Amino acid sequence: MGNSSEAHYNGGMKIILLGYRGSGKSTVGQHVAKKLGWAFVDTDEVIVERFGGMSIAKIWSEYGERAFREKEVEVVKEACDGKGDAVIALGGGAVMQKGAFDAVVGCCDAVRVYLSAPAEVLYERISGDVKSDETRPSLTGKGTGLDEVREILAKRVETYQAASDVIVDVAAPELEQVSDEIIGLIGQQ
């Protein structure tokens, strides 16, 4: 991206990445932020920091889902209201909370990107992450298997689509390809 285009977005442009666990929000977000020279905010990481470094699974077990979701809404609002250019990776369930959904949809000068992949691809990625069961809670009480991914994804996909400006298929593409596609979107804003 040329300097003249970058100067146009110095007032606080945001790229907001949303989608299910395993869709690559954090990985893609870090890569895009680095390529653009922007700040990167992973809302799950901010929440973990605010709970003293506890894993999300531990936060859920010790404080409950409600406490986690309340903090999530607060963190999403702060990220969307933040000054300067930033790439924001939301937690998989963030936009399911009205306050977070409203903050994301109402964020000015933002491109909201839903990173989409089939349940089978997401499950394969999640199951390949050896830390996932330790750090992420089951959302249905059925464990973190393919059935849970299918069930939760089916409940969320409509909201993901409603909260996004564009859908990027991340089932097969490489990191560089996805990153370049997202970076290309800011020039269309």
Domains, the chain, in order of start with CATH, read 12-168 (3.40.50.300)
Is pLDDT above 80 for 62?
yes
* Residue 157 DSSP label: H
* Residues tagged in the binding site annotation: 22-27, 44, 69, 92, 136, 156
pLDDT digits (tens, 9 = 90+) for 72-131: 999 999 999 999 999 999 999 999 999 999 999 999 889 999 999 999 999 998 887 645
> Looking at beta carbons, which pairs linking 78-84 to residues 24 or more positions away fall under 8 Å?
79/14, 79/41, 79/43, 79/46, 80/14, 80/16, 80/104, 80/106, 80/107, 80/110, 82/12, 82/14, 82/39, 82/41, 83/12, 84/12, 84/38, 84/39
* Residues tagged in the binding site annotation for substrate: 44, 69, 92, 156
Q: Are 43 and 79 in contact (CB under 8 A)?
A: yes
* CA-closest candidate to residue 23, choices 165, 156, 185: 156
Other beta carbons within 10 angstroms of residue 65's beta carbon come to 14
pLDDT of residue 172: 82
pTM > 0.75: yes or no: yes
pLDDT digits (tens, 9 = 90+) for 138-162: 455 556 588 889 999 999 999 999 9
* Residues tagged in the binding site annotation for ATP: 22-27, 136
* Residues tagged in the binding site annotation for Mg(2+): 26
